Amino acid sequence: MGKLRDAKILGGIGAILLLLSFIPFVSIIGIVLMFIAVKYISDETKDKDIFKNYLYSFIFNIIAIIAFISVIIFIFVGLGFTFSNFNPQQFTDTNYFQSFITENFAPALGGIIGCGVAILIAYILIILGALFLRKSYDGIAERTKVDLFKTTGFVNLIGAVTTIFLIGFIILFIARILEIASFFSLPDSLSKTKIEEKIDNSQRRCPKCGRIIPEDAKYCPYCNNKFEG
C-alpha cells in the first residue's frame, strides 16, 4: 500500500479524532495520525514545505493554547489571593470597603492588562497557525489536485480570525469537517494526477521538487536544490 493511500486513511481517521477532541486522549492520537499523514504526503510529493508549514502551524497553536490556559490559571489564582482576606461581614463598612478597593485596585488592574496582552498574543498566534496550515494545505492541493484542501485552509483561516466572536468557533468546526472530507478525497497514488495534469516536458523542472524553473537557473528557487555544471 502506497504512502499516499496510507495518508488518506490515517489523515481521515486523525481528522475525525480531532473532531472528537472533547474525549480524553483522543485528540492526542488524532494529532499523531495527522502528523504521520502530512509527512507521508510531503515525502510522496517531494515537497518538504508541506510538512514544515504544518509543523509551524502546530507549534503556533500549542503556544497559543498554553498562553490561554495561563490566563485562566492567573485569573483564578489572582481572585483567590484578592478575596482571601475579604470579610463579607464588614463589607457594609464604608471605610473597610474603600480600603479593600484601594489595596487591590492596582494589582487587579495590572492583572487585567496582563491577561489582555496574553489573550491578544494567543489570538495572533492562532492566526499565524492558521496561515501556515493554509500554506500546507495549499501545497497538498497543488500536488494532489484535491482542491478541497484549499477550501479547508481558507475556511480554517476565516474561523481563526473570527474566534474573537462566537461565530469563529462554528466556522472552525466546519473547517474540521472539510478536513475529514479532504483527506478521504486523496487519490491512492500520484500517477493518476500526473496523467491528468499533462505535464509539458518541454519546460525545465527541478529534479528534486518537480516545479517549473527558468531554463538558465543554477538552483531551484523553491527547494534551493543546486544543479551540477
Q: What is the pLDDT of residues 146-174, one digit of tens each?
A: 999 999 999 999 999 999 888 999 999 99
HSE, CB side, 13 Å, CA atoms: give it for residue 108. Answer: 11
Question: CA-CA distance, 5 to 27, in Å (whole number)?
Answer: 22
Q: How many CA atoms lie within 13 A of 186 on its CB side?
A: 29
In sequence order, what are the residues at sequence separation of 6 or more whose Cβ sits closer than 8 angstroms to the Cβ of residue 58? 31, 35, 129
Q: Grid coordinates in use for 122?
A: 494567543
Confidence of residue 196 (pLDDT cuts 50, 70, 90): very low
Give per-residue pLDDT as tens, 39-88.
999 999 989 999 999 999 999 999 998 988 888 887 777 666 555 555 55
